[in-house]
Structure 1
Amino acid sequence: MPRSLWKGAVSFGLVTIPVKLFSATEEKDVTFRQVHPADGGRIKYKRVCEVCGEEVPYGEIAKGYEAADGRMVVLEASDFDDLPLPTAKQVEIVQFVEMGEIDPTAYNKSYFLEPEGPGAKPYVLLREALKKSNKVAVVKVALRSRESLALIRAADDLLVMHTLLWPDELRDGAFAAPSDEIKAGKGEVEMAGMFIEQLTAPYDPTQFTDSYREALEQVVAAKLGDAPAVPTAAEETGEGTGDVVDLVAALKASVEAAKKRREAAAAAGAKEPAKKTKKAG
């Protein structure tokens, strides 16, 4: 069982729900060390003061804030202790909203909430109330000495909390939008819609895997002498990418390819006979 990251309580009106917080995700990637190629030795870094040149032990390093004009302010532990942070151990519900009202760009990290002791009954109460109302709770919470905006939603038997970025942390993406002068033709939009329809299916994340990580793990295994290196898909097919000139023609080809894949999958499923057991004697 994973270790809880935080303990506190969700304030649901006059009801208090003691909870533990657990990370709902874990990143899986191939990690690397910085090494000396000649002998494989790991590269280590020293913390050196740029003013006096002395190496500074980690325990003696303080936090400094550099102003725009270059002045440096050193902050003591007491400076942080004295900051007003009412949400340090309390998750305060400030509003209930529709899930769709929150821009997905604002989502940051996800956590499971587990009730503690007498918190089980009010936990279930909040979970069922959120389900019935189709709402999510907007909350404020302090994690790692930083106050965050977050939402709590019901997910099956659990309450899940997603921390959100603050509004001033979201960039305006207007600069990335194409010019208003660029238009998509009616036929192009209709053909694109047909392609979307062909690939529309219930979302099943188990269908997808991290091909890059799998291939990289095979390369590492081959280097260790445990397995032969496997060629990439591009090496096997010899395919490359080219410029798409005729959008309608490209989309038509995409639709036909999608139809064939769907028909082949359906035919393969229909050909699998049901297993029969032979009667004895």
Structure 2
Amino acid sequence: MRSIWKGIISFGLVSVPVQLFSAIQEHRVPLHQVHADDGGRIRLRRVCEEEGKEIPYQEIAKGYEAPDGRTVILTDEDLAQLPLPSKKTIDVLAFVDEDTIDPIMFSTPYYVGSADRAGAKPYTLLREALVDAGQVAVTKVTLRTRESLAVLRVHDDVLVLQTMLWPDEVRPASEAAPEGDTKVRPQELKMARSLMDTLSEGFDLGELHDEYQEALQQVVEARLQGVEPPREAEEVPAASNVIDLMSALRDSVKSVRQSRGEAASAQPEEEEEEALAAAGGGTARTTASRAPSGGAARKSTAKKTAAKKTAAAAAKKTAGRTAAKAPAKTTGKTAAKTAAKAADRTADKTAAKSPAKTTAKKTAKKTASRRKAS
């Protein structure tokens, strides 16, 4: 590897001579801009707006345009002599726990190597101290004329310098969050965790590869051979405004297991039952049954309707029998009261055995009132 920077790590009065190496190597199929009609290469020309002619790279400098339209020209010498203490020094500011730094701030990683044999001892000391403390070092460093925040951490027994964004360069995330106060049920969270565990079984990050680059290389090879490149029509699932999260999560777990060749099982349903129990036993089941989906909704509604009809019929029949058995000498008013009390007792008993308690009681009272009126 070719070194891109040389300097020292400075923490306290300890200095470690080091050099930096690029830690990443992106793989891309090189594509160029060409003329679509004849394949001629399109190249960038640096043309001066004042003179209207192309300028060689050696005569190009950096400039800053002031708000009043004036331009300040900065030479390479101006940039090289900026009064920055971090130009050749990785200046350690503090040591902190790594989880105190949001990963969104991380940028480019560099391997840190010892510059000479004399630096091996302090290099190893710093590395072991970081490992022993379980911390990272927050630093400042200037790379390519730009000062950056960075952290020093350990990776595979090697120090890594990871540049960072400045805190004011990270936009607030509040505007991207969903609007409103959306709640999820405990059983939905439980099933989501089940899906997470299923997706993570046997996962190996090292086995992942860039499928886009492979597909692009296949298209290039096909064009070079003069044949039609492979094409795959991807079906886009239709979007739905109504989402049954429990069904989607349950089906996702089944789909992942089937894609791995695992035998289909009732485990997702069992996990859902466990989730319902964990959410409060019978209360959770009652809550879930209020908003069932598909066939479950129709079955639940049918059961409730049948229960209501049964309770009403039983109450009506019992009220009629009670009125018929009342003594003849009883006046119409007394018979009506007796029938009403009997209907109330019967409705309570019947409703206790049926989900439609309130409906049965009201039906019995209405029946008694009609007989009283007649």
Q: TM-score range by the shorter chain?
A: 0.7 to 0.9
Q: Cα offset for 1:240? A: 2.4
Equivalent residue number for residue 163 of structure 1: 163
- The answer to which of 52-61 and 145-154 deviates more is 52-61
Q: Secondary structure at the match of 2:48?
A: coil
Q: Cα offset for 1:80? A: 2.2
Q: How many residues align?
A: 260
CA contact (8 A) 1:63 1:76 kept: yes
- The answer to which of 145-154 and 175-184 deviates more is 175-184
> CA 1:229/1:206 → structure 2, altered by over 3 Å: closer, same or farther?
farther
Matched AA of 1:4: S
CA contact (8 A) 1:87 1:147 kept: yes
**Matched residues in 2 for 1:38 and 1:116: separation?**
52
The residue correspondences of 1:247-258 to structure 2 (distance < 5 A) are 247-258=245-256
Matched AA of 1:240: V
Residue 22 (structure 1) aligned with residue 18 (structure 2)? no
- The answer to which of 53-62 and 158-167 deviates more is 53-62
> CA 1:19/1:202 → structure 2, altered by over 3 Å: closer, same or farther?
farther
CA contact (8 A) 1:218 1:227 kept: no
> CA 1:87/1:227 → structure 2, altered by over 3 Å: closer, same or farther?
farther
> CA 1:44/1:61 → structure 2, altered by over 3 Å: closer, same or farther?
same
Equivalent residue number for residue 86 of structure 2: 87
Q: Cα offset for 1:72? A: 2.5
Q: Cα offset for 1:181? A: 2.8
- Taking only the aligned residue pairs, the percentage that are identical comes to 47
**Matched residues in 2 for 1:4 and 1:188: separation?**
52
Residue 4 (structure 1) aligned with residue 7 (structure 2)? no
CA contact (8 A) 1:63 1:74 kept: yes
Residue 73 (structure 1) aligned with residue 69 (structure 2)? no
* TM-score where L is the length of structure 2: 0.65
Matched AA of 2:136: V
Q: Cα offset for 1:262? A: 4.9
Instruction: Give structure 1 regions of 4+ aligned residues with deviation exceeding 6 angstroms.
Output: none
CA contact (8 A) 1:151 1:163 kept: yes
**Matched residues in 2 for 1:226 and 1:15: separation?**
63
Equivalent residue number for residue 59 of structure 1: 58
> CA 1:161/1:254 → structure 2, altered by over 3 Å: closer, same or farther?
same
RMSD between aligned residues: 2.1
| Structure 2 residue runs without a partner (length 5+) | 264-374
Could you say which structure has the larger radius of gyration?
2
Q: Deviations over 1:11-43 (max 9, x none)?
A: 132221111100000111222111112221111
**Matched residues in 1 for 2:213 and 2:91: separation?**
40
Equivalent residue number for residue 151 of structure 1: 151
Q: Cα offset for 1:197? A: 1.8
Q: Cα offset for 1:193? A: 1.7
**Matched residues in 2 for 1:185 and 1:22: separation?**
49
**Matched residues in 1 for 2:192 and 2:103: separation?**
24
Matched AA of 2:187: G
Equivalent residue number for residue 237 of structure 2: 241
Q: Secondary structure at the match of 2:225?
A: coil
Q: Cα offset for 1:75? A: 1.9
* TM-score where L is the length of structure 1: 0.85
Matched AA of 2:204: D
Residue 32 (structure 1) aligned with residue 28 (structure 2)? no
Q: Secondary structure at the match of 2:262?
A: helix
Residue 107 (structure 1) aligned with residue 103 (structure 2)? no
Q: Cα offset for 1:263? A: 5.9
Q: Deviations over 1:115-140 (max 9, x none)?
A: 12211111111111111110111111
- The answer to which of 157-166 and 223-232 deviates more is 223-232
Q: Cα offset for 1:190? A: 2.3
CA contact (8 A) 2:86 2:140 kept: yes
Q: Deviations over 1:181-225 (max 9, x none)?
A: 333333332221221121224652222111111111100111111
Q: Deviations over 1:120-173 (max 9, x none)?
A: 111111111111110111111111011111001111221111000111111112
| Structure 1 residue runs without a partner (length 5+) | 266-281
**Matched residues in 2 for 1:45 and 1:262: separation?**
50
Q: Secondary structure at the match of 1:258?
A: helix
Equivalent residue number for residue 258 of structure 2: 260
